[in-house]
Amino acid sequence: MDADDLVLINGDVITLDPAPGKARVQAVAIRGGRIRFAGTDDDALAARGPRTRVVDLGGRTVIPGLIDGHAHLDREGLRDIFPSLEGCRSIADIQDRIRALAAATPKGEWIVTMPIGTPPYYFKPEATLAEGRFPNRHELDVAAPDHPVYIRGIWGYWDKPPITSVANSLALALAGVTRDTPPPASIVEIEHDADGEPSGIFREHAPVPVLEFTTFAGVPRFTHEHRVRGVRTAMTRALSAGTTSVYEAHGVAPEAQRVYRQLHEAGEMTVRAHVVLSPTWATAAEGIEAIERWLPFASGRRGTGDAWLRFGGVFLGLGHPNDVTRILFEGLPYTAWGGFVEAEFEEPDFRALCLAAAANRVRINTLVNDARTLATVLDVLEDVDRAHPIRDLRPVLEHVRDASPDAIRRMRDLGAIATTQPSAYIWKSGAAYLAAGGDPERLCPHADFDAEGLPWALSTDNKPYSALWALAAAVERRDRGGQVLGERQRVTVERALRALTIDAARLTFEEDDKGSIEAGKLADLAILDRPILDCEPDEIRTLPVPLTIVGGHAVHEVAGGLA
């Protein structure tokens, strides 16, 4: 008889298997990358062989591997590429950090750092410094007079605009910035000192920075090698929080697609990824032609690929092209922090592109950040569905922030799946939503989704990377100030867990292959140090994950974490 590869015993296994008596079991047996059995210890050990690894869980909880419905995995690892200023609490601290970098860098070469502030959000970075302000160019000159210095701005969605970056005098000279230099875009502010000279401080009043594509296009950029290293780092972090699969719904640009292909071909994928394609066309006509060319590659329910990496579907954005989208498009194939193409189309072009996608069986993914956008998108997709049925393709409506019961029913009737980011929309920016007149009972309305029968999944949007944060925010529904937003929309820990596992598997049409702990399914599991169903939300956010298993292999394991 064949022997099992791995057996987990003496645990509290939350299977999410709907079969009677299967919801909670003791043990899991794994063979050939799949779950062979979930049940009692004795039965799980029945096929143990001399090479079978047996792990005594000591009562720890086992859950299906978490599936992040909107991850931006490729961005997370970029945080570590350039030297960090984390921990700097004054301008003198920043000077010391840059002085040390200058001592190790040949004269004349660039010194580029990560942003000022505390990751992952970099909230109010100037407030983290004793002076309550950013350093100016002269203060950076003191630390590195012989090097061009550039302190990067953040990815604006981590905190909020303005995005602030700082350059020293040599960097300004290399960029050609003088007292007479105009801003490169309407959203950029060049600060000047009392004498009318540039201070070295730049502010961008939009969430997506453009300075790297304009004034500071000569600053060292994220390279392909950086992005490869970054995705490796991001996978390690995701696994440490129990995430075993990601769905990249916002679209992945060609330079990031190349990274995924390289890692997959090298056998280095440790997190499963489904990659939606990012638009790289300037006009709707070009887009329609591109969609038709993609027919054999990205069409159908699941696109093309295997259980580790799959490409399928297209991201189509409704919006209004502006300075930012124009500059970013002109900068392709480089995407800086983004990893996706910032493409937005007016309603007629958006409609034409959706029709083309539906006609060619290419799955539509789109953002619906507010009630007005959601209403327009639903109008378009209902018309598209009448011309070319899309319900079986499960269109993905991302960033569902504000939805009425009527909008929820319309999404359901389209066969759509909704994804939400409660860490971002409730915990991070819930107070701002209320201040703008938002109805808390319409904010990420998870209970209403269930009441109307709309499938939904949770996601992080890389704010932060841990899906456990998203789960805790959906359960707790408190903003950073502790205020409860929409108490009626609270869900239980078990319900939120389903939205990160079996329900999230619907995003990739894999609910029959992963997302629960059942015989025959992929052996993707996370072992938690405490019983998640009994934890308070703050405990869930930092819940230790001593072991994560993907395809039957331990891909994250804390030394000494398990016997």
Compute the distance between CA of residue 98 and CA of residue 168 in angstroms, rounded to an integer.
11
Compute the distance between CA of residue 228 and CA of residue 237 in angstroms, rounded to an integer.
15
Residue 318 predicted with pLDDT over 90: yes
Q: Which domains does the chain have, with CATH numbers?
A: 1-65+515-563 (2.30.40.10), 82-213 (no CATH), 224-511 (3.20.20.140)
Q: Answer whether 207's CB lies under 8 Å from 328's CB.
A: no
Closest C-alpha to 487, from 476, 500, 498, 472? 476
Compute the distance between CA of residue 51 and CA of residue 57 in angstroms, rounded to an integer.
19
355 Cα distance to chain centroid: 28
Q: What is the pLDDT of residues 372-414, one digit of tens each?
A: 999 999 999 999 999 999 999 999 999 999 999 999 999 999 9
Q: Token pair for residue 532?
A: 């998640």
Q: What is the mean pLDDT of the chain?
A: 96
Q: What is the pLDDT of residues 525-542, one digit of tens each?
A: 999 999 999 999 999 999
Band the pLDDT of 294: cuts 50, 70, 90: confident
pLDDT of residue 183: 97
pLDDT of residue 500: 98
Compute the distance between CA of residue 97 and CA of residue 80 in angstroms, rounded to an integer.
15
Mean pLDDT of 25-45: 96
Q: What is the pLDDT of residues 229-276, one digit of tens each?
A: 999 999 999 999 999 999 999 999 999 999 999 999 999 999 999 999
Mean pLDDT of 10-18: 96
> What is the identity of the amino acid at 331?
G
CA-based end-to-end distance of the chain: 27
pLDDT of residue 46: 93
pLDDT of residue 1: 59
Residue 470 predicted with pLDDT over 80: yes
pLDDT of residue 419: 98
pLDDT of residue 96: 98
Q: Token pair for residue 304?
A: 């093309």
Q: What is the pLDDT of residues 413-432, one digit of tens each?
A: 999 999 999 999 999 999 99
Neighbours of 42 (CB within 10 A): 10
Q: Answer whether 48's CB lies under 8 Å from 30's CB.
A: no
Percent of the chain with pLDDT over 70: 99
For the stretch 64-76, what's the b/e string if a residue is b when 16 or more beta carbons lie within 10 angstroms of its beta carbon? bbbbbbbbbbbbb
Do you find a cis peptide bond into 464, omega within 30 degrees of 0?
Answer: yes
Q: What is the pLDDT of residues 133-144, one digit of tens each?
A: 999 999 999 999
Closest C-alpha to 391, from 376, 412, 409, 360? 412
Residue 24 predicted with pLDDT over 60: yes
Percent of the chain with pLDDT over 90: 94
pLDDT of residue 321: 86
Residue 297 predicted with pLDDT over 90: no
Q: Token pair for residue 491?
A: 């869900």
At CA 517, angle to CA 512 and CA 519, rounded to 5? 70
Q: Token pair for residue 408?
A: 């929820």
pLDDT of residue 2: 86
Q: What's the predicted TM-score (pTM) here?
A: 0.96
Residue 333 predicted with pLDDT over 90: yes
At CA 68, angle to CA 433 and CA 498, rounded to 5? 90
pLDDT of residue 563: 56
**Dihedral sign for Cα atoms in the order 333, 335, 340, 342:** negative
